[in-house]
Structure 1
């Protein structure tokens, strides 16, 4: 079809018709799935995951200065970029064991209600992504000592990842009692 050049509106309509006739359709997004992101870590033989927004920073184990008269699970204080950070042994606090700092040990920095603390863990297992439908209100078979800090779990590829609440930990009166 030839459109006379004196009719610009007709020319534009013809171009639009041809464009639509030869256009490819965009692929449709069929399945939108909501994800939950967490930081996987290990305490003793227990693997856990905490919400990514509850872990402010992950550090290698820094040089620590002991605190006289503190609980056994208080490992000391560290100078992190000019700020003193109390460092607690999460394994020692929850299960009474001791985390022996090794090359995989890390400090998870937590800030909640104005309280900052470093939690020494045996290993950080990386960023974990779960779909909402993988969540269960059950925490799985975990040492009962962890129970009061767990908020359900995610099951992924045959593994169960109990959700550890850093907020519940910091809110617990026992965690705030650092003096021996």
Structure 2
């Protein structure tokens, strides 16, 4: 690319918008391919919340962001951590561990590993879950399903327990939707 000034290329707002548009189009194509793929449900997002490993359906999970500043909301449940501004949108943040009656998930996980996993916009609830750690993609098709009194679990090749978490079912729970005291 001889003769092109990189500094002026980066400063050109029209070129930046074009590159952003191309990137967004590529992302949209990947998401649509994942939705139409027969194995879309096999790939799950692995997160650790409190001391429990959960698998989230990729179609129900939104963004994964570092924990931003949270604004407490008075007279709300202890598991409702407050509001966060994520890309200009107000998102309610829930400590799922505390919601489920477990010890609260530490927002200050080792080496800043804590993240907010937002719910997909299709679920219609502007909410994020505090995750102690995001483990990454897991292939549920390669895991062994085990019956458990608290709900079915999946065991991976390393012998680790994973609990499937249906976010669409979570947002239909009356108690989850009633954050006020």
Aligned to 1:104: 113
Residue 130 of structure 1 deviates from its aligned partner by 2.9
Aligned to 2:43: 37
Aligned to 1:9: none
1:174/1:86 Cα in 2 relative to 1: closer, same or farther (>3 Å)? same
Write the mapping of 1:47-58 to structure 2, written as runs, cut at 5 A: 47-58=53-64
1:70/1:41 Cα in 2 relative to 1: closer, same or farther (>3 Å)? same
CA RMSD of the aligned region, Å?
Answer: 2.2
1:156/1:96 Cα in 2 relative to 1: closer, same or farther (>3 Å)? closer
Residue 98 of structure 1 deviates from its aligned partner by 1.7
2:138 is equivalent to residue 128 of structure 1: yes
Give the aligned length.
138
Residue 115 of structure 1 deviates from its aligned partner by 1.3
**Please, which runs of 5 or more residues in structure 1 have no aligned partner?**
1-32
In structure 1, what is the Cα distance between the partners aligned to 2:160 and 2:103?
Answer: 24
Matched residue SS, 1:171: coil
More helix by share: 2
Residue 135 of structure 1 deviates from its aligned partner by 5.1
Residue 136 of structure 1 deviates from its aligned partner by 2.7
Cα deviation, 1:66-86, whole Å, max 9, x if unaligned, reads 101111111110111111111
In structure 1, what is the Cα distance between the partners aligned to 2:177 and 2:39?
Answer: 35
Matched residue SS, 2:140: strand
In structure 2, what is the Cα distance between the partners aligned to 1:68 and 1:55?
Answer: 27
2:52 is equivalent to residue 46 of structure 1: yes
2:155 is equivalent to residue 155 of structure 1: yes
In structure 2, what is the Cα distance between the partners aligned to 1:34 and 1:94?
Answer: 30
More strand by share: 1
TM-score in terms of structure 2 length: 0.68
